[in-house]
Amino acid sequence: MASASHPAAQDSRRNRQAWSVLIVSTLAFTVCFMVWMMFGVIGIPIKKMLNLNATQFGLLTAMPVLTGSLVRVPLGIWTDRYGGRIVMALLMAATVPAIWFMGSATEYWHFLVIGLFVGLAGGSFSVGTPYVARWFPRQRQGMAMGVYGAGNSGAAVNKFVAPVILVAFGWAAVPHVYAAIMLGTLVLFWLFSYSDPAHLVPSHVKFSDQLKALKDPKVLKYCQYYSIVFGGYVALSLWMVQYYVGEYGLDIRVAALLAACFSLPGGVLRAIGGVLSDKYGAHSVTWWVMWVCWICLFLLSYPQTDFTVVTVDGPKTFHIGLNVYVFTALMFALGIAMAFGKASVFKYISDDYPGNIGTISGIVGLAGGMGGFILPIMFGVLMDWTGIRSSAFMLMYGVVWVSLIWMYFTEVRRTDLMASQGTSGTVPASR
């Protein structure tokens, strides 16, 4: 009797550990993402204090994203090698001093340099994704990675918390509070997370072997997808508060609240995207995500326009443009689509590379993060060059076109050809 109940007890214990790991890892990622997106709010008073133009502001907000992206590949490899628990804990501990010293910065170059170190927090994604996925069976890994990825909602938490601290105590208090929150979260993570040696890659596997995936065209395609659904999400999360302030003349607190209508669903609903990807497949979800993004960005791209038409009764002037309500509704829909897309791209990875999730997620995460780094800078350059704020959406509209065309020729068209030729065979799970 005891021997029969022993496996059941082990399964129950492992299940509890798996959910504990998922919960505290998601909490840790939420806090890391909140810190990573800090400049999206405190960057506005800093911009005014230092008299920055749009390009300089874009660079300021993008600096943390740069290091958070570049460290993703080595962090993913180290997670495969040494385990997610130790790597995540060390990563969080390393960011605390930089977050604290951000409150003491006074010069533009101070913010840029310290921002690079604060940006390490963004690398947490490539640690937690393989860490939580390996605690669950393959048919539930999409759900697990989706729940963990919902920590992207830290971008929305930042928009709720930072304005309150900023208005009450000034922008410099925000990094000090965030450093304390990060330290407390680190303690909770260490107390309630676990390690499993079975999750580590074999010791005979070399780093060079893991990096061979860079030559795989499928990995490059997933990088392109993720550069829009994650990179675009990060870029817009950083850009939207100042967009609302500049385009609609809103107070920073109201602007942050409305910007959260994009950031919050773009993070929280990632878990639902994971469940849908488990059920319908990564390809189906990603295909529809790209089309929804394409439609939303097409509408968001149109600038505020006044034009005069000569009629039989004389000249008449018409105005075309999105008011704040329609704009926010479209951003809400865009956020939902990006949330589903972030989950579906990683479902591709867990299906196609089950033994190398850390490395592949690091590579794809790097591409997404670099999108989040480059796009805000390009937003600023385009705005300084054209004077049109919606040029940011025009740029992203073009990026989505690339993803749709690539997906059509490599996945949709191939499936249609196989069907028309009556080719037998099974469709891969990620399709």
Q: Residue 344 in contact with residue 358, Cβ under 8 Å? A: no
Question: Inter-axis angle of helices 84-102 and 108-118, to 10 degrees?
Answer: 160
Q: Residue 117 in contact with residue 35, Cβ under 8 Å? A: no
> And the tokens for 138?
């393959």
Count of structural domains within the chain: 1
Q: What is the C-alpha separation between 385 and 388, in angstroms, rounded? A: 8
- Residue 208's pLDDT is 62
Residue 336 inside a domain? The answer is yes
Residue 397 inside a domain? The answer is yes
Residue 386's Cα: distance from chain center in Å? Answer: 28
The angle subtended at Cα 315 by Cα 314 and Cα 321, nearest 5°, is 145
- Residue 173's pLDDT is 95
- Residue 254's pLDDT is 92
Q: Which domain holds residue 301?
A: 12-193+207-420
pLDDT digits (tens, 9 = 90+) for 128-157: 888 998 898 877 887 888 889 888 888 889
- Residue 179's pLDDT is 96
pLDDT digits (tens, 9 = 90+) for 254-302: 998 999 899 888 877 887 888 888 888 888 899 999 999 999 999 999 8
- β-partners of residue 320 are 305
Residue 346 inside a domain? The answer is yes
Residue 69 inside a domain? The answer is yes
> And the tokens for 40?
């999206």
Amino acid, res. 158:
N
Q: Residue 228 in contact with residue 399, Cβ under 8 Å? A: yes
| Predicted TM-score of the model (pTM) | 0.76
Q: What is the C-alpha separation between 270 and 341, in angstroms, rounded? A: 8
Q: Residue 213 in contact with residue 77, Cβ under 8 Å? A: no
Q: What is the C-alpha separation between 182 and 38, in angstroms, rounded? A: 13
Low-confidence ranges of the chain (pLDDT < 70): 1-6, 201-214, 355, 358, 413-431
Residue 287 inside a domain? The answer is yes
- Residue 332's pLDDT is 95
Q: What is the C-alpha separation between 257 and 361, in angstroms, rounded? A: 31
Handedness of CA 376, 70, 199, 207 (dihedral sign): positive
Residue 414 inside a domain? The answer is yes
**Helical spans, DSSP H, in 141-281:** 141-149, 154-169, 173-192, 207-211, 217-229, 231-248, 252-268, 270-280
Q: What is the C-alpha separation between 10 and 83, in angstroms, rounded? A: 21
Residue 309 has what DSSP assignment?
Answer: E
Beta carbons within 10 angstroms of residue 36's beta carbon = 33
Residue 6 inside a domain? The answer is no
> And the tokens for 239?
């850009």
Residue 426 inside a domain? The answer is no
Q: Residue 349 in contact with residue 333, Cβ under 8 Å? A: no
- Residue 413's pLDDT is 66
Give the domain CATH number at 374: 1.20.1250.20
Q: What is the C-alpha separation between 141 and 199, in angstroms, rounded? A: 14
